[in-house]
Structure 1
């Protein structure tokens, strides 16, 4: 299928085009502001589906709203009529179209133009009124508060919040693109005259800002956000896309002594924590047990042995482990345990505990295996 995408270099356009290619679509006509009318004519003649995403939302002069959101739509439809091309057209409109402001009025005019075109030609038209869209590649300091806040917070730049209680209706870019691809397959979500994207996240500005600052802080306190919440998961992915390119990495605090090192990697409020343990050759670490805390050990480099003994018994159980065969060893409560490096090189063990370490309640009792 030959697909025309107007506004191809915009936020939605870029995300849509890369996903179309991921789905195997190869004949994609990319039209944007630097394209020519001759190119538009060729595309309008040959295309079999149209994603009309081009529009104006931050013009220098108010008249550009109508020129961009109505005028170009008219030009596109005239080209399609010229070649009697009745391809399905998807229009990117806005929830602002229901409001009496210059931008909303111009988007409404574009909608009506497309609806009339559909009635006149019999072409299938799909109009989406998008809420605030956020996600990777959205331009900061333009027309998206989420993009601006993400960009500025990641760079220690100030932000301005006039009212923390303002509620935003937000759509994540991947959800939007998934819906557009469904429309390409004739599976669009529709209610009455309009199509829609699900889900829409209703979130206050204050919560968004607090979450973004917590994401920034997480690189220092090693806390990962609660990604079980769909919105938090999406906002966190969005935030990471705005990190400065020279700040993708960050240091961890390594607790180093003659035995090796122990480094906390990540923590979560509900999924415990992950740490990296490095043991020097011949070193034994551990010799303690827990009432309720439980752990998983995974040796990823080197070789060693993990020993267990139930605290009220004498039998010692051994599990030999190696980075050459990745095996997870559960550390049950009630067993004192240790891990010894039997090799000639450092042994590296990934350790997961079901709870974050609490120095006020460590639940750790030292007893030799």
Structure 2
């Protein structure tokens, strides 16, 4: 199926693309604000359009009018298409509120619903609560992104406590994917995780205090894991690699590879001959740790749909850990002249039915969209 995603380089758009890449074989055309002029052309033979692009910062007029104009462009593209592409809208719980954003989202919803009806297509309105997740922009996408970056920099943000529901962007992305397959018109209102603003800050701050020295905080709930992965993204790459303390005496040395304060995990060790590369995959949620015990290696990583490759040269002579950020392709190459011995740890037990491991070369291919 050909799916056009508007706002493909935004926070939710990026998460949606990573999930589509991992879990489906759909042809995904990601459109950014810079190439929105291609929308009508790409929509001609599209089977679905997921409208994620939006405006949530600017003057009152820019926010309200901007969301309406984006929806109007999508509606016109649908009307000019040769088929009847299904429309899925990434809406907000603020839709309909008496604010520029709320009014703009409500009018955008109505425009899209009308466009779908006019072509005999279907419209799925996905009404999302407060989103958070890896690579959110501080002071822009969500208060969680702001808090995560503050914790990563050792800062204390202004915390105004209130009850709040939060939903990880990968869960939101799955709801949008489900919308592509939903028969008929529908309004979907996924529930977030109930918490408070103060609790979110405390969770991130406590996790940082443990993790800055390499300890793994308690990962007993999915919200714990999602918050930790959000924090790790804010800390990457400036906080890595993490140097470990080698305790030495007359017998030799001892290194604590993983100190986990709660949850489960699995450890394993691999050997690699000189020049051998392992990995070239990514994970959606799994926390994975690399630690070279003997030999020399280069650990390389690339965020999905981005060009830059980040590399760390590590050695068993100076034990350091690099934890793989979620939704980054990564590999490890033996760059020495002897056998490489590497310790790996993941926060979950391996499940062959749901391995959360998806092939992706670190070196970006020319057709990677």
TM-score (norm 2): 0.67
Structure-2 residue corresponding to 1:236? 228
Q: Distance in 1 between matches of 2:75 and 2:149?
A: 37
Return closer, same or farther for 1:224/1:129 CA change in 2, 3 Å cut-off: same
Shift of 1:249: 2.1
Kindly indicate whether the alpha-carbon contact (under 8 Å) linking 2:45 and 2:82 is maintained by their aligned counterparts in 1: no
Structure-2 residue corresponding to 1:282? none
Return closer, same or farther for 1:136/1:349 CA change in 2, 3 Å cut-off: closer
Structure-2 residue corresponding to 1:183? 179
Return closer, same or farther for 1:187/1:222 CA change in 2, 3 Å cut-off: farther
Return closer, same or farther for 1:268/1:40 CA change in 2, 3 Å cut-off: closer
Return closer, same or farther for 1:135/1:272 CA change in 2, 3 Å cut-off: closer
SS of residue matched to 1:267: coil
Shift of 1:83: 3.0
Shift of 1:216: 1.2
Return closer, same or farther for 1:271/1:256 CA change in 2, 3 Å cut-off: farther
Kindly indicate whether the alpha-carbon contact (under 8 Å) linking 2:40 and 2:81 is maintained by their aligned counterparts in 1: no
SS of residue matched to 2:33: coil
Return closer, same or farther for 1:25/1:269 CA change in 2, 3 Å cut-off: closer
Shift of 1:24: 4.5
Return closer, same or farther for 1:19/1:255 CA change in 2, 3 Å cut-off: same
Shift of 1:36: 4.7
Kindly indicate whether the alpha-carbon contact (under 8 Å) linking 1:93 and 1:111 is maintained by their aligned counterparts in 2: yes
Q: Distance in 2 between matches of 1:349 and 1:211?
A: 28
Q: 1:196 aligns with which of 189, 208, 217?
A: 189
Higher relative contact order at CA 8 Å, sep ≥6: structure 1 or structure 2? 2
Return closer, same or farther for 1:226/1:79 CA change in 2, 3 Å cut-off: same
Structure-2 residue corresponding to 1:87? 85
Q: Distance in 1 between matches of 2:12 and 2:117?
A: 27
Structure-1 residue corresponding to 2:5? 5
2:167 corresponds to 1:171: yes
Shift of 1:95: 0.5
Gaps of 5+ in 2: 268-292, 295-341, 345-369
Return closer, same or farther for 1:114/1:30 CA change in 2, 3 Å cut-off: same
Kindly indicate whether the alpha-carbon contact (under 8 Å) linking 1:155 and 1:244 is maintained by their aligned counterparts in 2: no
2:30 corresponds to 1:30: yes
SS of residue matched to 1:97: coil
Q: Distance in 1 between matches of 2:114 and 2:262?
A: 54
Return closer, same or farther for 1:85/1:223 CA change in 2, 3 Å cut-off: same
Task: Output one character per residue of 1:97-131: Cα deviation in whole Å (capped at 9) or x when no partner.
Answer: 14211111110111122223333332100011111
Return closer, same or farther for 1:241/1:101 CA change in 2, 3 Å cut-off: same
Task: Output one character per residue of 1:284-341: Cα deviation in whole Å (capped at 9) or x when no partner.
Answer: xxxxxxxxxxxxxxxx99xxxxxxxxxxxxxxxxxxxxxxxxxxxxxxxxxxxxxxxx
Structure-2 residue corresponding to 1:247? 239
Structure-2 residue corresponding to 1:71? 69
Q: Distance in 1 between matches of 2:50 and 2:264?
A: 45
Q: 1:219 aligns with which of 211, 214, 228?
A: 211
Kindly indicate whether the alpha-carbon contact (under 8 Å) linking 1:118 and 1:124 is maintained by their aligned counterparts in 2: yes
Kindly indicate whether the alpha-carbon contact (under 8 Å) linking 1:266 and 1:274 is maintained by their aligned counterparts in 2: no
Task: Output one character per residue of 1:118-164: Cα deviation in whole Å (capped at 9) or x when no partner.
Answer: 33332100011111111112112213111111112112234221x23
Shift of 1:238: 1.1
Q: Distance in 1 between matches of 2:46 and 2:266?
A: 52
Q: 2:158 aligns with which of 157, 160, 166?
A: 160
Shift of 1:72: 1.9
Task: Output one character per residue of 1:26-48: Cα deviation in whole Å (capped at 9) or x when no partner.
Answer: 532221211152x1221121211
Q: 1:99 aligns with which of 97, 100, 110?
A: 97
2:205 corresponds to 1:205: no
Q: Distance in 2 between matches of 1:219 and 1:64?
A: 41
Structure-2 residue corresponding to 1:266? 258
Kindly indicate whether the alpha-carbon contact (under 8 Å) linking 1:168 and 1:204 is maintained by their aligned counterparts in 2: yes
Q: Distance in 1 between matches of 2:233 and 2:32?
A: 24
Q: Distance in 2 between matches of 1:17 and 1:271?
A: 29
Q: Distance in 2 between matches of 1:25 and 1:155?
A: 39
